[in-house]
Amino acid sequence: MPIKNIWITYSQEILENQEKSYYKTRSELKGKTLTMIEEALQEAGWEVNKISVDLPLPQLTEFFSQKIDLIFNLTICVSGIYNQAFLPLLLDANNIPYLGSNSVVHSLCLDRSLSKLCLRGIGIPTPSYFIWSSKEEIPENLDFPLIIKPRFRSHQEIISAQSVVSNQEELERELQRVFSETRDEVIAEKFLTGREMMIGIWGNGKSASPLPIMEVNVSRQVLLWDFQTKNDKGYVEDVLCPAPLSEEQKNQIEKMALKIFQELHMRDYATFKLIFSEKEEIPFFFELNSLPSLYYRHSAFPEMCNASGIDYKTMVQKLARIAEERVARKL
């Protein structure tokens, strides 16, 4: 059966809060993302509706009991460490097809510990690390500097410049701080120097393909990973896309990203962060994002598409068709 109607799902609360932050000096762009996604889908011939998921669970469950052909999912829920996995789980329970990976993949990508285990399991280099909680001893003879992160990416906002530690005293202080704020295990990861990059993948299975690789914060000499200070223009400025890489380096990164996408059975689209190490001269992957944001003139994924000559509305239409084809093939 061809897909005739598409519902766009999002959180109004999170959308408004993020746009307030992202478009501080570009107020004309507030609301633009949702409007352009709706227009793009309508122009491609689909019947389009929108729903904010900021509803009581019984109401949401009742809503999804109706016949829906496809969900264009933009949803990060307002609470919980598995904030982007909740809606896919609900949609799976109601047998409703949707854009993006399933709830298991989302949960895995939100958990830095599981992500790293998976990367190592399929032979992808990732920075060395240890996991710590308040009842455990801190390992000895550590190779500083380290960066201290919460185990779950939903606590991303607590990472700051002080998260990079250079000695035992700083390490103990930061481990305690992150644990006290999250009440969960903490990741202490080797802080590597090199070029910070992102790569996007879209498609499914063997037909998945890479987008141009983006180099982030090209004006800096020292990598600041997760806590870099971005201006309100997001990935529109201070990046190079495509990144200046040799053909060998480009192929190496693309091959690894495709392997992650395919081995983890990710669907439709994803982005990956990596550091191209100055010392080892190889890419170390450290962040998997199974639900890349699509904020117009801000997010990395649309900018990667733009670098390959694909404008925003064409990107939206292609994402919907990628999901539509997967659903039709029952992948």
Whether the predicted pLDDT of 259 surpasses 80 = yes
Q: What value does the mean pLDDT take over residues 103-113?
A: 96
Label residue 226 by pLDDT band (50, 70, 90): very low
Output the CA–CA distances (angstroms, integers) from residue 70 to 3, 41, 73, 102, in the order listed: 7, 12, 9, 14
Return the higher-pLDDT residue of 97 and 236: 97
Mean pLDDT of 114-132: 97
Decide if 116 contacts 188 (C-beta within 8 A).
Answer: no
What are the tens digits of pLDDT across the range 134-185? 888 999 999 999 999 999 998 877 888 889 999 999 999 999 999 999 999 9
> Are the CB atoms for 94 and 64 separated by under 8 Å?
yes
Whether the bond between 125 and the residue before it is cis, its omega within 30 degrees of 0, is no
pLDDT for residue 37 is more than 60:
yes
* pLDDT for res 218: 58
HSE of 84, CA atoms in CB hemisphere, 13 A: 24
Interatomic CA distance for residues 82 and 154, integer angstroms? 7
CA separation for the pair 163, 238 (Å, rounded): 23
| CA 37 to the chain's CA centroid | 19
- Which tokens hold the place of 39? 């227009």
- Would you say residue 2 has pLDDT above 50? yes
Quick one: pLDDT band at residue 230, thresholds 50, 70, 90? low
pLDDT band at 235 (very low <50, low <70, confident <90, very high): confident
Residue in this structure with the two tokens 């990667």, named with its chain if needed: 304
The reported pLDDT for the residue numbered 228 is 43
Backbone dihedral region for residue 29 (phi beyond 0: left; psi -120 to 50: alpha; all else: beta): alpha
Is pLDDT of 74 > 90?
yes
Q: How far is CA 25 from CA 31, 110, 118, 205, in A?
A: 14, 30, 40, 40
Q: Per mean pLDDT, which range of 46-60, 68-82, 112-126, 268-282 is the poorest? A: 68-82
Structure confidence at residue 219 (pLDDT) = 53
* Structure-token pair, residue 330: 């029952």
Considering Cα of 32, then 33, then 34, then 37, what sign does the dihedral take?
A: positive
CA nearest 211: which of 156, 285, 143, 271? 271
How confident is the model over 294-304, as a mean pLDDT? 96
Per-residue model confidence (pLDDT) at position 225 = 41
Average pLDDT, the chain: 92
Q: Is the pLDDT of residue 229 over 70?
A: no
Q: pLDDT digit string (tens) for 14-32?
A: 999 999 999 999 999 999 9
Which pLDDT score, from 0 to 100, does residue 224 have? Answer: 43
The DSSP symbol for 225 reads G
What percentage of the chain exceeds 90 in pLDDT?
79
